[in-house]
Structure 1
């Protein structure tokens, strides 16, 4: 940050002058207050508060100090006069143990900054932390203690040198912060408050020395109304803290709620525990407010207040439940603002937060720091020095006592110091960094980065001459303000930290959902966010499916996947939950009846949603399709090889014996049979569906007709050689060719009628398989399809019968016995095909047909032609005419 040197010098002189006047005024104020004390103790000529030391503080030295005022301890203070000021001030403290994390967050941030050489090189940060004790007077007292080393206040005397205090972080609530500001403002010391304030308090904080680490509270108002509208909660109760901020909240929200059609069933004011005068306050609240709250028709309640308001409400609820002897569940829907936190004091640690199960609340945005959890695990009483909070925290959190030096260390109930923080329930202490702690962490880093800018600024280097110590001593808190107002940096989790024009931290709020557990712990679940910087329509986001809300029903809701079933003899609101029937789903809670999924979807395993079916067909790329294609191509090549062998040896007797033309026709038809099987692979198309079954039927009819013609040729040839036989006129190629042509034309006629009347077409079968849509060829007419198969079966049976009768004819090249065996295989394959085809679905039905085509074709090829190829290739001496003549004799 670059400043004009002359302007900066003028600003420095002006602020320094104002600071001097403020100090003198403050000294005068203290003198006036202590005059009675001075008069009463004239013999000592002084009046100090050393007789009443502050019992809780944490000091870590450093070149520059950051002050801290936390709110961890609750005392009941006696009403004192100055004359009696030396008497005991404090009763036994009750710690809000969860807020001990606020001190730890500051210590953690300072230690991180000190180990980071890029921020403050050769300069160490220290800190000094006091508590406010939730008391106005003690807040003034501890704030003054931050300004001096010796805790000594002598009118008109500076008893000790002033600390090198550059900034103060605190406090948690608005009243504590304003009491601090009344003193720190005179010294122009930057104050970074980590609590969320009502907009009504804005005028009180319009100071150039006051910085809000939390976004403006008004963002929560619109978010709260949005939540009520979203869930259609129009009849709500309101609990507010009994102070000015609570009244302002009600005045701001009442017309806003009315504007959106939301009515207030009742308004109850809660006294903070720190303001309870006696037991009468509790009894009055319980008697007057508890029972109406319990009996109210409203099931949604808004709670506006700070953490001690929640502590008070839990106390009222707990005691009220005992007083009225009620076991009725108080679980309602609670909606809370970011000021509140779910914390309990030490004596309440055995209580639970069942009252707030399912609560929806706004939270100061935070991020998880893994190193912080490691830091917390290393916190042990014997390791941590200078921490005056730790002893009381440890004893109240773990319900143990540190023994005195005279006592034995092994007495019953003694603290060992080895207790683990992560064993504590959430209301007592959280291991995760809370929103307030995250604000303190960012505040410390904002101060660190501002100091870094100061030390690296040429202006500061010019105005602070001398040694390092002299430079540190010369730096004044008021010089930090111009830098802080324009600070912007990324913290360790890469989030941008900056102040807007109103010196408020930018950003929004998280929307959380509280889930409680029987072991008194809880879990914060982020279910949305409020982001004022987002575009219109995205300023408020709720993840409704993540929210856990309390229920008030006769029995648990039927979860998705189940439907209601009325209980006999019970009221209609009482029912059982039964699983959905097969094929149906229930995608909402409490469905009366399950519903069917659309045809292109199927129920999930839990039957709570419909999933999109995948399209299934026998692809070339999948293993089954690849295997069948490879087999088909292999047999096609073998058929071509056999055809080549027969053409090459066409003049040999074994080729001529049974009409070589029929042999060629048979081999070509078998080749086409193997190739036709490829038509069944891949996604069905219109042309493929139209021709594949007809092509298969006609080609196979040609093949079987050729086999029949070969068989008839054998029979006719044998009978024709007998003397005086009338079969000689049937010997020759014409009868065989006529058989092939006739029987093939019959099959072709059947296919023509089929294609003309009801041809096959591509179809998506959504019913056969549960999770798949079968891409198939619909056969159009099942009658015609089975007619083609039936005719093929009839032709095969005729061929088998003729071949069987001619199997023992005495001919060296008699094929009848081989044809018999081949037709036996052929008929067996297709007889098995029909039941298998009908019992399979999807792509496996297609695979069965391809396998049948390949198996039957391979049977014909192997049984008829393998013996002849063996003789032609390996036993050529048997391929002679003499062998034929010899056998026929």
Structure 2
């Protein structure tokens, strides 16, 4: 590598005769020293195209813009070098020099002048020899501002490992050490800026933003990083547009039409200030004034746009690199006067641009613009203290501070080289770097290892040669005099934790319109209780809000999915939280429960009243002639049936469920068994009147009681088997999508439940059949007609009960069951005993043996 560098220094003078550019020694800043630092800055920009005929000497390059900020950067480098030379603690035995040139913000010019810096050659005019103004070669260059230009310079000088320390190139692509091994910078990588911008957009919940940028490597890589990083936060680009560096009217109209037709009100622009001028001018022409601009760090603190577009840019937000106050720099910059300005073409042009006058003998009239010859001569009384210029404005030293740190980085690396102890050095066999003939690759090694503190800041670099990123969030506010006030309203520090790296003082922000942050959404946020449903063919930020389904909630804004409530909970009306379900059962306190309770009590009392009547009139023919003992039993069992209905009302428990169903089955079995016995007795009584019949001896009172017990014992056996195998239990039913938990008696064994009902149905059918056969027996003692009618009602009730019961849920299922019990019990009571009570109580004249025997 040392041989390559030596070869470059050897053969480059042979090539100088090919460089013809009409320049003199005033087109650069130069001071010799033991080590001369190279510097390259974009003092001019936007070259005016020239057509070369190749038959005459090429004309000088002309530019559209002169940049006073870049002149301040140049002067800051000179100031830092002089400050270091005056220090005794840093490089006490070594003096620094500088060789600074203008890059023109143009790749060919930058590459050419970078090569001039590293070999010390001047730009030759005609008639000059290569030895006239030989300068000391620079082993390191401070520059460049543009990422694209920096890449071109690095690809040229990279083979020689000549370090390039950039103060403003932020493209993350430059962190690739395989491609750019000799690159370092004091400007944070765009990777951190993009993270800060995405978090800023996410903080204000702007999910629909426009992204534009100039056609440079810086903007293209930045936009690519922004789109990738924004996916993590569900931020969508409403549009992404790259506009050309040489912006035509048609291109400006196309960009502004996109901005105008889009629903996005927030626009992020990646470019430098000069490239944004044409777009803002077109926005003004089309009256597009509602946009909230977000500035990349390249123009976040630039004031050149404010004068013309303050109404459009008021409220702009942007991240700016860290600022500092460099002591005595302001007074050093203002030391320029007429006599000093005449010593340099750079300062002469600045002086003419600032005061609109012409210096005698100035060669700068060809450099910038037209009409300079018409300015009056400078009278020498002009002073920088009387005017405002970006050159002398030291209130926002950000890029200048980066230049200052870049010079100090090189100085500290040289200091480490000078203090290296032979035998303990970093190179082969413990050797140290040479200070007599500095090799760039050795200096680069020391620079990568350097950490230092300047102006109270600890300057450190990562493995890629990038500094630890920290940014100030700047807000463009309009002062009382109409001037631009750059107000710090927050900061981003990449060294902090992920959720603490961005801090924003929101009340301090002055927005473009109104006092609140603007909205920039493709779709309004979905409130809790709904979820997002993506619109087909559109980005993820464009969606519809769909209410959550029954039994589901969403408790966050913009929920992607709704959450299903647990079995014990149910959504509230807003469907944003799950509440404990209410317990549902047939209660004594609710109207339905009260009605059923009243009918049950009334039925039991009615049965007891009839029993009282029968006991009171037990010796009358009507009572005695209708199997009095079975009637008494039947009335008692009917009273039990009415009371059984009460066990179905109230909160179910295990023991209540295990009493409810067996009691229901056995009580109705007793009733039907009594009716069956009465029917058989009626049927057999008439057969016993036939001559020689002895059948009644099998149907005496004892036999009747035995038949009732026998029939009931079968039902009791079924219930015992049911209770011992799989008994009914209280259960909390949550399978139905409802705001309530149904507390019910689970029957346990379905077979047991339907066997109980089936056995009652079997006895009822048998009773109905026998009563139907005896319905026409001609005797006043015949109850078959009433039994037949009661069984018809009984069947109608329970046949209707089955489908209604199966289709009902919760307390209504229980109510149907109780209603069937009461209806069937009332049918038996009324059909069998009402006619007898009517005769006993209302027609006593018919209650005698004579009438009964008719």
Q: 296, 309, 313: which one pairs with 1:337?
A: 296
Q: 390, 413, 421: which one pairs with 1:450?
A: 413
Q: Secondary structure at the match of 1:147?
A: helix
Whether contact under 8 Å (1:400, 1:413) holds in the other structure is yes
Match of 1:232 in 2: 205
Match of 1:218 in 2: 191
Deviation at 1:498, TM superposition (A): 2.2
Whether contact under 8 Å (1:338, 1:362) holds in the other structure is yes
Deviation at 1:266, TM superposition (A): 2.6
Deviation at 1:139, TM superposition (A): 0.8
Aligned partners of 2:32 and 2:84: how far apart in 1? 14
1:70 has 2:29 as partner: no
Whether contact under 8 Å (2:210, 2:238) holds in the other structure is yes
Alignment of 1:454-473 (within 5 A): 454-459=417-422, 473=436
Match of 2:111 in 1: 140
Q: 189, 197, 219: which one pairs with 2:170?
A: 197
Q: Secondary structure at the match of 1:339?
A: coil
Match of 1:367 in 2: 324
Match of 1:382 in 2: 339
Alignment of 1:473-622 (within 5 A): 473-491=436-454, 493-517=455-479, 521-552=483-514
Aligned partners of 2:385 and 2:264: how far apart in 1? 37
Aligned partners of 2:378 and 2:423: how far apart in 1? 50
Quickly say closer, same or farther: Cα 1:356–1:250, change in 2 above 3 A.
same
Render the CA deviation track for 1:216-242: whole Å, top value 9, x for unaligned: 221222221221122222222211122
Quickly say closer, same or farther: Cα 1:350–1:256, change in 2 above 3 A.
closer
Quickly say closer, same or farther: Cα 1:289–1:507, change in 2 above 3 A.
closer
Whether contact under 8 Å (2:345, 2:362) holds in the other structure is no
Deviation at 1:111, TM superposition (A): 1.3
Q: Secondary structure at the match of 2:81?
A: helix
Quickly say closer, same or farther: Cα 1:122–1:259, change in 2 above 3 A.
closer
Instruction: Give unmatched runs, 5+ long, in structure 2.
Output: 364-373, 427-432, 519-854
Whether contact under 8 Å (2:469, 2:494) holds in the other structure is yes
Render the CA deviation track for 1:229-260: whole Å, top value 9, x for unaligned: 22222222211122344333333333543442
Q: 105, 110, 113: which one pairs with 2:81?
A: 110
Whether contact under 8 Å (1:194, 1:436) holds in the other structure is yes
Quickly say closer, same or farther: Cα 1:125–1:365, change in 2 above 3 A.
same
1:300 has 2:266 as partner: yes
Match of 2:547 in 1: none
Instruction: Give unmatched runs, 5+ long, in structure 1.
Output: 1-14, 35-45, 464-469, 557-889
Alignment of 1:710-859 (within 5 A): none
1:317 has 2:280 as partner: yes
Match of 1:120 in 2: 91
Quickly say closer, same or farther: Cα 1:349–1:233, change in 2 above 3 A.
closer
Deviation at 1:112, TM superposition (A): 0.8
Match of 2:348 in 1: 391
Across the aligned residues of Structure 1 and Structure 2, the Cα RMSD in angstroms comes to 3.9
Deviation at 1:461, TM superposition (A): 12
Aligned partners of 1:282 and 1:203: how far apart in 2? 34
Aligned partners of 2:249 and 2:391: how far apart in 1? 26
Aligned partners of 1:18 and 1:203: how far apart in 2? 23
Q: 441, 446, 458: which one pairs with 2:404?
A: 441
Deviation at 1:78, TM superposition (A): 4.1
Quickly say closer, same or farther: Cα 1:124–1:352, change in 2 above 3 A.
farther
Quickly say closer, same or farther: Cα 1:349–1:55, change in 2 above 3 A.
farther
Quickly say closer, same or farther: Cα 1:357–1:212, change in 2 above 3 A.
same
Aligned partners of 1:67 and 1:22: how far apart in 2? 16
1:182 has 2:168 as partner: no
Quickly say closer, same or farther: Cα 1:412–1:224, change in 2 above 3 A.
closer
Deviation at 1:170, TM superposition (A): 0.2
Deviation at 1:96, TM superposition (A): 1.8
Render the CA deviation track for 1:644-681: whole Å, top value 9, x for unaligned: xxxxxxxxxxxxxxxxxxxxxxxxxxxxxxxxxxxxxx
Aligned partners of 1:399 and 1:405: how far apart in 2? 13
Aligned partners of 1:136 and 1:405: how far apart in 2? 27
Aligned partners of 2:114 and 2:330: how far apart in 1? 30
1:95 has 2:63 as partner: no
Alignment of 1:693-704 (within 5 A): none
Whether contact under 8 Å (1:196, 1:338) holds in the other structure is no
Q: Secondary structure at the match of 1:228?
A: helix
Quickly say closer, same or farther: Cα 1:82–1:207, change in 2 above 3 A.
farther
Aligned partners of 1:243 and 1:143: how far apart in 2? 20
Whether contact under 8 Å (1:282, 1:316) holds in the other structure is no
Match of 1:246 in 2: 219
Render the CA deviation track for 1:667-726: whole Å, top value 9, x for unaligned: xxxxxxxxxxxxxxxxxxxxxxxxxxxxxxxxxxxxxxxxxxxxxxxxxxxxxxxxxxxx
1:282 has 2:248 as partner: yes
Q: Secondary structure at the match of 1:475?
A: coil
Aligned partners of 1:254 and 1:349: how far apart in 2? 29
Quickly say closer, same or farther: Cα 1:459–1:433, change in 2 above 3 A.
farther
Q: Secondary structure at the match of 1:370?
A: coil
Whether contact under 8 Å (1:357, 1:515) holds in the other structure is yes
Q: Secondary structure at the match of 1:537?
A: coil
Quickly say closer, same or farther: Cα 1:460–1:368, change in 2 above 3 A.
farther
Match of 1:168 in 2: 141
Whether contact under 8 Å (1:97, 1:396) holds in the other structure is no
Aligned partners of 1:432 and 1:257: how far apart in 2? 33
Deviation at 1:85, TM superposition (A): 7.0
Aligned partners of 1:518 and 1:205: how far apart in 2? 52
Q: Secondary structure at the match of 2:248?
A: helix
Match of 1:16 in 2: 2
Moved more, 256-265 or 508-517: 256-265
Aligned partners of 2:230 and 2:425: how far apart in 1? 58
Whether contact under 8 Å (2:80, 2:408) holds in the other structure is yes
Deviation at 1:103, TM superposition (A): 0.6
Rg larger for? 2
Quickly say closer, same or farther: Cα 1:251–1:461, change in 2 above 3 A.
closer
Whether contact under 8 Å (2:8, 2:119) holds in the other structure is no
Deviation at 1:350, TM superposition (A): 5.7
Aligned partners of 1:152 and 1:229: how far apart in 2? 51
Aligned partners of 1:525 and 1:512: how far apart in 2? 5
Aligned partners of 2:382 and 2:424: how far apart in 1? 49
Whether contact under 8 Å (1:425, 1:520) holds in the other structure is no
Quickly say closer, same or farther: Cα 1:87–1:206, change in 2 above 3 A.
closer
Q: Secondary structure at the match of 1:240?
A: strand
Alignment of 1:614-653 (within 5 A): none
Quickly say closer, same or farther: Cα 1:518–1:133, change in 2 above 3 A.
farther
Q: Secondary structure at the match of 1:134?
A: coil
Whether contact under 8 Å (2:176, 2:464) holds in the other structure is no
The TM-score, its normalising length taken from structure 1, stands at 0.51
Deviation at 1:171, TM superposition (A): 0.2
